[in-house]
Structure 1
Amino acid sequence: MISKGVLLAAGLGTRLVPYSKEMPKEMLPIFYGFNGKMYLKPVIQVAFEQLYDAGIREFCFVVGRGKRAIEDHFTPDWDFVEYLERNGKDEYAELLKDFYEKIEKSFIVWVNQPIPRGTGHAVYMAKGFVGDDFFLAAAADNIFVGENVTEKVISLHGQTKKPVITVRKVKDPSRYGVIVGDKVAEFVYLVKGIVEKPKEFVSNLANVSLYIFPPEIFKAIEETKPSPRGEIEITDSIQLLIKSGVEFIAYESEADWVDVGNWESFLRAILVSLKHHMGSEALKNILQENLDL
């Protein structure tokens, strides 16, 4: 059973400057439906809650400079909950209570990546936390909407005892790292290799930064050379493990996948999360009424 989760939130978010100069992109909100009403949650909170609901209870947040707002958000403020209750804001109080109770039932470690040196290096910062266990690692600025894919990934690892890469079919593979592999079951592939931003088509199964890694990943990261942009790419480390004989499997999810890496993808995240909780027709009507489309 996977018990440890690493949430990666150390990126600078330069494509969202000036917002992301002091406010982490992982704190951007998406819509969340609860009891027939709509609320806003930071995307990193949704990521945390999905891992929690999948059974993870030990968390390592890898953060960088300017990410203090994340730690503040994950520090329960029960006085504010009482304030909401005194002022008749019971539904908001219940939302915070649920979140805070999950935090207090979890073991949380904060690790600082002082210089952004790539996703591979960010994962490596969690080495002391992970130890010799398989562990789950996820980017905290993108999630699946409407389905807890983390549960399926953990279940697949439980059945196969192999490391897992989560993928999704995309229209433009050149923007992503993609896996090449053989289909061995419905939505499951045996990974032969992983290619970062291929110039020529090799696959449309994009890596969506939700992994189950073996502890050997840290040795592979140590052996990974910096990419042309000077970063330690986790895809290069995975490729080293594959070449050494470690078998990775890929799980293909068909759930809606969103990220908040730039303003276009953030807008899509807002619309997709609204569509999921309201339905396409209701969303279309709201857009027509308010934007005169």
Structure 2
Amino acid sequence: MNAWIRTLMIGSTMSAVSATVFAGTEQTPTPQRSEDRIWVISTRHLTSKPGAPVDVNDFTYIRVSLDGECDSGDFEQFKADGVGRRTCVFVHGNRVSASYAIKRGRRVYEDVRSVAPDSESLRFVVWSWPSTRIKGLVRDARMKAQKTTAQSFYLGALLSHQPVDESFGGIGFSFGAPIICGAMHLVSGGEICGYSLPMEKKVRLKADVVLMAGAMGARWLAPGGRYDLAFQQMEQLLLLRNSTDSALKRYWVVGGRGVSALGYVGLSPRVARISGMEVRQCDVARAIGREHTASLYLNSRYVSRLMAEGALGVFPENSR
């Protein structure tokens, strides 16, 4: 069991947020397009209690400049940057420090912008949530799974302000997958733990979503499942699962006995058919191997391109 928990919790030690976090990325960065915007939104300082009042102005907003410097911002500045740009939100997995979240997010941005059409500018968002290490391996994993609930409320509150005429893409790795799906369930009018998300108006994102090695129940998106309304916000869904993932194979340690992970077994054909949208599933076991590690997904040209294209709404036929 401990070996599984150890592979699920990938990250680095906490350090200060600065421009130096971009040094030593896994690939040589390509120049940022002049009209793109990169934001880091952190909720690491907020409570993880479900149902707590949510105010998007309480989030920490960091804008990453063209030369890699990080400057503080606010919600109104972030909101203004969404006009005329496609928003793409990346939610990292467990055991990721504040600084490493930015570094990894920058890497994902490089992958997405490399396939983005020149005619479409991006507002790329790194969602930074409290996933640093907690003492005790099993306790850490279970507590982080619980934290994804509150994070769904926070991200849902942000998504409720998404411009209706602008395109949207979401990428979630490991515990990032339930955060994205939970947020979309909430903005569709759903409840989690008996709580709903107050919204001034209805939201229809028409999102292109990529879930990589999703650490969430395989039936959570099915009718009657925990996040069964999430499909209402999706236009297309790409599931990058790994049938040899040694961590997700034992997801029951967190999800409960008998519960399989979405990132291990995928979505059932029946649920995919009745979802009412385009669903693609790809088993990336041969490219990734047994480890539950985000860097393996990003370092695979094949998998990282699938991820980037999926977030832009491009779904190749061979990803079935």
The verdict on a shared fold, with TM-score over 0.5 as the criterion, is no
Greater RCO, 1 or 2 (C-alpha within 8 Å, sep 6+):
1
Normalised by the length of structure 2, the TM-score is 0.29
Which protein shows a greater Rg? Answer: 1
TM-score (norm 1): 0.30
Q: Which has the larger share of strand?
A: 1
